[in-house]
A and B are shown apart, each in its own frame.
Chain A
Amino acid sequence: MRRPSPPLFLARSGYRRRRLHDAARLVPVFGAFLIFLPILWSPGETPEPDTARDGLYLFGVWAGLIGAAALLAPGLRRSTGPDAETELTPDPTSGDPN
């Protein structure tokens, strides 16, 4: 009794789509890292006030995140639309037999 197994390797377009999904998952991870980075700066130790520069940094990161999301969004929209082919592998969490 054999079940057709999903293909092990994908064609170029499918491969790119997978990596696009990976990128979409990574954006918030990088974003969180950059946003939490100021915690390590210990601003209290420097004598001169740096609130303005902190603000510039945070707004810069913010704009970067928006830009990254805007770059990814069109590709992701295509692969999540109603006519897009379904994903070849289920979510890793869905294999849990109950």
Chain B
Amino acid sequence: MPFNVLVLSCLIYVAFLFAVAFMAERRSSRGMQGFLRSPLIYTLSLSIYCTAWTFYGAVGYAARSGLEFVTIYLGPTLVFVGWWWVLRKLVRIGRQQRVTSIADLISARFGKSNFLGAIVTIIAVVASTPYIALQLQSVTLAFSVFASGTSEGWHLPDQAATGVWVAAGLALFTILFGTRNLDANEQHHGIVMAIAVEAVVKLVALLAVGIFVVWGLADGPADMMARIEASPLAEWDLQPGRWTGLIFLSAAAVICLPRMFQVMVVENADEAQLARASWAFPAYLFAMSLFIVPIAVVGLERLPAGANPDMFLLTLPLSEGQGGLAMLAFLGGFSSATSMVIVETIALATMLSNHVVMPVLLRLRPTSAKRGDLRWLVLLARRLCIGAVLALGYAYFRMSGGSEALAAIGLIAFAGMAQVLPAMLGGIYWRGATKTGAATGLIVGSVVWVYALFLPSFGPGAVMSVEVFAQGPFGLIWLRPQALFGVTGMDPLIHAVFWSLTLNTAAFLIGSLLTFPDPVERMQGAAFVNAFDDEPRTGPLGWTRGEAEPEALLIMAQRILGDEAALSFFEVEAAAQGKQGYLPDPTPDFVASLERRLAGAVGAATAHAMISQLFGRSTVTVEDLLAVANETAQIMEYSARLENQQEELSRNARQLRDVNEKLTQLSVQKDSFLAQISHELRTPMTSIRAFSEIMTDSDLTPAQLAAYGRIIHEEAIRLTRLLDDLLDLTVLENGSVPLNLDVAHLGQMIDRALAASCHVRPGRSFDIQRNTGTEAVFLKTDADRLVQVFINLMSNARKYCDARDPVLRIVTRQKGGKVLIDFIDNGSGIPKDSQAVIFEKFARLSNDSPSGGAGLGLAICRELMANLGGTLTYLPGQRGAAFRITLPLRLEKPETAGAA
């Protein structure tokens, strides 16, 4: 295949990617993001995990180490199917805090510390440079394969020149679509879309070669299995240390690699995307690795012994005369390399500009935060950083000469980025993690990584002398780079991973335990660890003191977000505060939300520093934090108090309702009392009037006159008695009745009452049953009043007891300083529904009673008993009418009696 065709197809492919990215940007700028934000695109964009290292290198890896290559995919698979553990929280935090990169995440978590951000940035740059070089190398290597394998006689241009062209082209693409705008959230739809297309290309290419190998060169899966058993790969033995270590390493890398963090967290739109990717991304990896072993086995079988297994994917189709298939495979590898480089450089450039360039700039020229356009400055910084990162990669590529096995470089980069893992996981799950601890861990871990893995990777004698390898530095044998602390039997990679992460974690934990976090750190720690709480409780705390002019804030925001975006943001915020125009009040809420918005563009640390400059003071103090705690406690106390008050109010309302009901009842009672009393008074008055009218007639005999006169007299007596009773009752009810307290014998009082009540229905013989023994009690009370009550009760019994042989039992008992006297007859008693009313005034159970009393007796008795400090109650369940009198043995004179 002519080289020109190859170059031309590459250029067409790149132009196609440009077009895709451009279309996606246009769609997104028109607000048509539906497809761009679909889980499918998200999953495909995650496939930048599979770089050229995976594409070409996995076959080589399989040819050298058998099935070990799958560890690189099994780690990410475990992380993704277990997304509920870590990824979900990372993505949630990323959205809440508008995280722009992994360095930003670490920096934001540990008090928006730019120092930490810079450390992570440096680690990322150091670890990624060889990785980027690896991609350039794979593309140039692929070009050279096409050159050497053909017979057309065209010669391969200089490898270095190819590298320059590729690097320059990638830089152009990245700058065009990666720094198009300083968007909040750092989302790049054009690039993500292009990456998704490239993901499809590389999957199709790999599957095509795989299918060609399994069904074209071999006779289907069964034959393939037999060939695998017969190949050198079958000699492979699983090494437990490397197996475990590599799975762990790749699992760590898929979270920590800057480009993975970029597509997974920063470009994430919602958690539904993650749910889909949880199985779709492992499925993609599954498909990518399905044919690796067959290709390696057939390549080893068919190609000459010296062939580079890393290039089997190209050389195998070429040697079989399948130029088109090789072309497709080339494009697949090209896609893998370019997509990785693009996203990696964007991620690194964001980190570099936010955590190194901008802070240095703000430090050097503090006034630049207040004037001058920062937007172009940030973008320029990004563009320069992209160029610088690619230049670094290219320089490394030139230096290293590009002959090493691809897999080794990839794993070194993994191990480097894995140093961020302890600080990251500790940061999102442990509130006790501190800035000092994180910094110590990161520094210790990366130093060990550089010393034990990165520098030795150049080979003995390159950077480190052979003596250091064999004897350790300065003859310290326990510090040999590949046998730290005398641990010799380990694979060098696993050895370095083990020691760097162990020491890193230990330093992180101990450093965190020994130090005290500053307030911003504690605030951020709470916000990160409690990311799933409904709303951050300490959100607007940051800017409670100090003040800034809204206009100054607007000017600063315009210089970072752009005029239109800043104005519309301020307008929305002003509207939320209920204000018109573009200048909201600088409330803590508003400033915090502005800070988050700016953090989406320039990172948490820089945004924080810039707002701090306007405010002219550091933000939070320990007192503020405690005040928030107090405030929370106060709010809780306040709400508890409100609750109590509400309970009290409803209790009062209930009482008022009861009282009101009682009043209504009393009003009804009063009305009926008046009606009753008029009736009672009217009856005798009517007969008096009638008889006195008759008496005015002159033709009456003296006998008649005497009879009528007697009737009038009797009725007048009845009236008087009624009025006396009423008067009595009123006096008793007022409680102002004078009492003659004296010591009296209970038995004698009952005797008196019996004698006095004999004249009621004197015809009936009553059997009185009483126990004179228990009645031998001396009471201090008003004897006359008490006898009056007795008489009333006995008379009632005589009047109303309807038994044939009436019996009245009088039972006396003493109980705790009180005397109980029961009057029980053997009549039919009082019906249950009447028991409640018998003590009311004018309550008469039957109108046909022979005596025709006014119905005031029992009411008077009850009032009398109340005045005597006792009670009169109806005693149910005695097979007759039964009344119980309770009264104190000794009645003390009430205070009011003396005063009255």
- Interface positions of A (Cβ within 8 A of B): 1-3, 21, 24-25, 27-29, 31-32, 35-36, 38-39, 41, 43-44, 49-52, 54-56, 58-59, 62-63, 65-70, 72-74, 76-77, 80-82, 86-87, 90-91, 93-94, 96, 98
Are A77 and B529 in touch, CB under 8 angstroms? Answer: no
Known: A36-B244, A59-B286, A94-B532. A51 touches B275 (CB 8 A): no
Are A32 and B78 in touch, CB under 8 angstroms? Answer: yes
Known: A25-B85, A55-B228. A43 touches B238 (CB 8 A): yes
Are A69 and B81 in touch, CB under 8 angstroms? Answer: yes
Are B290 and A68 in touch, CB under 8 angstroms? Answer: no
Report how far A22 CA is from B72 CA in the complex, Å: 27
Q: Which of B77, B225, B229, B243 contacts A39 (CB 8 A)?
A: B243
Contact with A along B235-279 (1 / 0, CB 8 A): 111101001100100000000000000000000001110011011
Are B532 and A38 in touch, CB under 8 angstroms? Answer: no
Chain B, residue nearest A80 (CB): B271
Could you list 9 further interchain pairs (A-B, Cβ under 8 angstroms) beyond the known A2-B640, A27-B82? A3-B636, A31-B78, A39-B243, A62-B77, A70-B283, A76-B275, A81-B272, A91-B532, A96-B529
Chain A, residue nearest B84 (CB): A24
Residues of B within 8 A of A96 (CB): 430-432, 529
Are B279 and A35 in touch, CB under 8 angstroms? Answer: no
Are A66 and B286 in touch, CB under 8 angstroms? Answer: yes
Report how far A74 CA is from B272 CA in the complex, Å: 9
Chain B contact residue count (CB 8 A cutoff): 56
Q: Which of A35, A67, A76 contacts B247 (CB 8 A)?
A: A35
- Chain A interface mostly: helix
Chain B nearest CB: distance from A83 CB in Å? Answer: 11
Residues of B within 8 A of A25 (CB): 82, 84-85
Q: List 13 A-B contacts (CB under 8 A).
A: A1-B637, A2-B643, A31-B78, A58-B67, A58-B74, A59-B286, A65-B78, A69-B278, A69-B279, A74-B275, A81-B272, A90-B533, A96-B430
B525 within 8 A of A: yes
Known: A24-B84, A65-B282. A93 touches B275 (CB 8 A): no
Are B78 and A28 in touch, CB under 8 angstroms? Answer: yes
Chain A, residue nearest B292 (CB): A55
Chain B nearest CB: distance from A20 CB in Å? Answer: 9
Are A98 and B279 in touch, CB under 8 angstroms? Answer: no
Q: Which of B88, B270, B286 contacts A62 (CB 8 A)?
A: B286
Are B67 and A94 in touch, CB under 8 angstroms? Answer: no
Known: A35-B78, A59-B290. A49 touches B272 (CB 8 A): no
Are A1 and B636 in touch, CB under 8 angstroms? Answer: yes
Are B240 and A93 in touch, CB under 8 angstroms? Answer: no
Chain B nearest CB: distance from A93 CB in Å? Answer: 5
Report how far A24 CA is from B247 CA in the complex, Å: 20
Residues of B within 8 A of A87 (CB): 532
Chain A, residue nearest B282 (CB): A66
Residues of A within 8 A of B82 (CB): 24-25, 27-29, 31
Report how far A70 CA is from B286 CA in the complex, Å: 14
Known: A80-B88, A80-B271. A69 touches B80 (CB 8 A): yes
Report how far A21 CA is from B89 CA in the complex, Å: 14
Chain B, residue nearest A63 (CB): B286
B206 within 8 A of A: no
Are A51 and B228 in touch, CB under 8 angstroms? Answer: yes
Known: A38-B243, A70-B279, A96-B432. A52 touches B532 (CB 8 A): no
Report how far A54 CA is from B636 CA in the complex, Å: 61
Residues of B within 8 A of A56 (CB): 225
Known: A38-B243, A39-B238, A55-B293. A77 touches B272 (CB 8 A): yes
Chain B, residue nearest A31 (CB): B78
Report how far A66 CA is from B276 CA in the complex, Å: 11
Residues of A within 8 A of B637 (CB): 1
Which residues, 57 to 98 on B, are CB-close (under 8 Å) to A? 66-67, 70, 74, 77-85, 88
Residues of B within 8 A of A35 (CB): 74, 78, 247
Known: A80-B275, A96-B431. A51 touches B81 (CB 8 A): no
Report how far A81 CA is from B271 CA in the complex, Å: 7
B534 within 8 A of A: yes
Chain B, residue nearest A70 (CB): B279
Chain A, residue nearest B241 (CB): A39
Are A27 and B81 in touch, CB under 8 angstroms? Answer: yes
Residue from the set A58, A73, A93 with the largest chain B CB neighbour count within 10 Å:
A73
Residue from the set B78, B293, B636 with the largest chain A CB neighbour count within 10 Å:
B78
Are A51 and B66 in touch, CB under 8 angstroms? Answer: yes
B530 within 8 A of A: yes
Residues of B within 8 A of A21 (CB): 84
Known: A54-B67, A66-B282, A80-B88. A93 touches B290 (CB 8 A): no
Q: Which of B233, B238, B293 contacts A38 (CB 8 A)?
A: B238
Q: Which of A3, A52, A73, A81 contacts B228 (CB 8 A)?
A: A52
Residues of A within 8 A of B429 (CB): 93
Are B276 and A51 in touch, CB under 8 angstroms? Answer: no
Residues of A within 8 A of B240 (CB): 39
Report how far A44 CA is from B236 CA in the complex, Å: 9
Contact with A along B624-658 (1 / 0, CB 8 A): 00000000000011001001000000000000000
Report how far A49 CA is from B270 CA in the complex, Å: 47
B793 within 8 A of A: no
Known: A1-B640, A27-B82. A73 touches B66 (CB 8 A): no
Report how far A32 CA is from B431 CA in the complex, Å: 28
Q: Which of A27, A44, A49 contacts B229 (CB 8 A)?
A: A49
Chain B, residue nearest A64 (CB): B81
Report how far A14 CA is from B236 CA in the complex, Å: 49
Chain B nearest CB: distance from A97 CB in Å? Answer: 9
Chain B, residue nearest A41 (CB): B238
Are A68 and B81 in touch, CB under 8 angstroms? Answer: yes
Chain A, residue nearest B293 (CB): A55
Chain A, residue nearest B230 (CB): A49
B520 within 8 A of A: no
Report how far A88 CA is from B357 CA in the complex, Å: 44
Report how far A68 CA is from B431 CA in the complex, Å: 33
Contact with A along B273-307 (1 / 0, CB 8 A): 00110111011001000100100000000000000
Residues of A within 8 A of B270 (CB): 81-82
Residues of A within 8 A of B225 (CB): 52, 56
B116 within 8 A of A: no
Report how far A54 CA is from B283 CA in the complex, Å: 19
Residues of A within 8 A of B235 (CB): 49, 51
Are A73 and B530 in touch, CB under 8 angstroms? Answer: no
Chain A, residue nearest B89 (CB): A91
Residues of B within 8 A of A65 (CB): 77-78, 81, 282
Chain A, residue nearest B285 (CB): A62
Known: A25-B82, A44-B237, A58-B70. A73 touches B275 (CB 8 A): yes
Report how far A98 CA is from B524 CA in the complex, Å: 12
Residues of A within 8 A of B81 (CB): 27-28, 31, 65-66, 68-69
B234 within 8 A of A: yes
Chain A nearest CB: distance from B274 CB in Å? Answer: 8
